[in-house]
Amino acid sequence: MTVEAPADRLFREILLARQRVYALAGQTPLEHIRLGQPGGVYLKREDMSPIHAYKWRGAFNRMSLLSAKERERGVVAVSAGNHAQGVALGAQRLGIDAVIVMPTATPRMKQEAVRLHGAGRVRVILHGDRYDEAQAVAESLCEEEGRVLIHPYNDYATMGGQGTLADEIVMSGEGPFDVAFLQIGVGGMAAAVACWLRRYYPKIHIVGVEGVDQASMAAAMEAGEPVTLDYVDVFCDGTAVKRAGSLTYPLCAELIDEFITVTNSEVCAAIQVLWEQRRCIPEPSGAMGLAGLLKQEKKWAGKKALAIVCGANMDFGQLAWVAQHAGIGMARRRYYRFHIHERQGALLDLLQTYLKGINIVEFQYGKTHSDEAWPVLGVEAAPAQLELLERTLTGHGVEHEIVTGEEDVEFRIIHYEPHLFQLPYFIKLEFPERAGALYDFLQTVSDGANICYFNYVFTGEQVGRALVGFEFPSEEERAAFKKRLDDSGRTYHEISEEAVSRIL
CATH classification (class only), 57-156: alpha beta
By C-alpha distance, which of 416, 441, 423 is closest to 342? 416
Assigned CATH topology for domain 6-53+158-329: Rossmann fold (3.40.50)
The DSSP element (H or E) to which 182 belongs, if any, is: strand 179-183
**Within this chain, domains 6-53+158-329 and 57-156 share the same CATH topology:** yes
CA atoms within 13 A on the CB side of 398: 24
Alpha-carbon gap, residue 89 to 370, rounded angstroms: 65
Phi, psi of 431 (to 5 degrees): -150, 155
Alpha-carbon gap, residue 46 to 281, rounded angstroms: 12
In this structure, the dihedral spanned by the alpha carbons of residues 189, 192, 194 and 195, taken in order and rounded to 10 degrees, is: 170
CATH classification (class only), 333-503: alpha beta
Alpha-carbon gap, residue 405 to 418, rounded angstroms: 27
What is the per-residue pLDDT across 146-191, written as a single tens digit (0 to 9) for each?
A: 999 999 988 999 999 999 999 999 999 999 999 999 999 999 999 9
Whether the CB-CB separation of 284 and 321 falls below 8 Å is answered with no
By C-alpha distance, which of 413, 298, 432 is closest to 359? 432
Q: Is 397 left (phi over 0), alpha (psi -120 to 50) or beta?
A: left
Coil/strand/helix, residue 305: strand
Positions in the chain whose pLDDT score sits under 70: 1-2, 36-38, 446
* Cα three-residue angle 60-61-67, rounded to 5 degrees: 95
Burial class (CB in 10 A: 0-12, 13-18, 19+), 112: exposed
What pLDDT is recorded for position 38? 67
Burial class (CB in 10 A: 0-12, 13-18, 19+), 68: exposed
By C-alpha distance, which of 66, 227, 41, 81 is closest to 158? 66
Dihedral sign (CA 29, 35, 41, 44)? negative
Q: How far is CA 169 from CA 15, 172, 279, 330, 392, in A?
A: 14, 5, 22, 28, 49
Whether the CB-CB separation of 106 and 94 falls below 8 Å is answered with no
Coil/strand/helix, residue 100: strand
Alpha-carbon gap, residue 165 to 67, rounded angstroms: 25
Q: Domain residue spans in the chain? A: 6-53+158-329, 57-156, 333-503
Omega before residue 176 within 30° of 0, cis: yes
